[in-house]
Amino acid sequence: MGGNDFLHALTKEANVTPVAVITGASSGIGAATAIALGRQGYRVVVGARRVDRLQRVAGEDGVALHLDVTDEESISQFVREVGKRFGRIDVLVNNAGGALGLNPIEKANDDEWIGMWKTNVLGLMWMTRACLPLLRKARHGHVVNIGSIAGFETYKGGAGYTAAKHAVRAITKTLRLELNGEPVRVTEIAPGLVETEFSLVRFHGDRKAARAVYEGLKPLTAEDIADCVVFAVTRPPHVDIDEIVVRPVAQATVWQVARKAPRRKS
Report the chain's C-alpha Rg in angstroms: 18
Which three-class secondary structure state does DSSP give residue 48?
A: strand
Alpha-carbon distance of 8 to 183, in angstroms, equals: 18
Beta strand segments in the chain, E:
19-23, 43-48, 63-66, 91-94, 141-146, 184-191, 243-246
Q: What are phi and psi of 94, to 5 degrees?
A: -85, 90
Q: How far apart are CA 207 and CA 224, in angstroms?
A: 23
Residues 20, 21, 25, 28, Cα dihedral to 10°: -50
Helices and strands (DSSP H and E) totals, the chain = 10, 7
Q: Which residues are catalytic?
A: 161
200: phi then psi, degrees, rounded to nearest 5 = -65, -40
Burial of 180 (0-12, 13-18, 19+ CB in 10 A): exposed
CB atoms within 10 A of CB 51: 14
Contact present, 20 and 91 (Cβ < 8 Å): yes
Q: Say whether 194 sits in a helix, a strand or coil.
A: strand
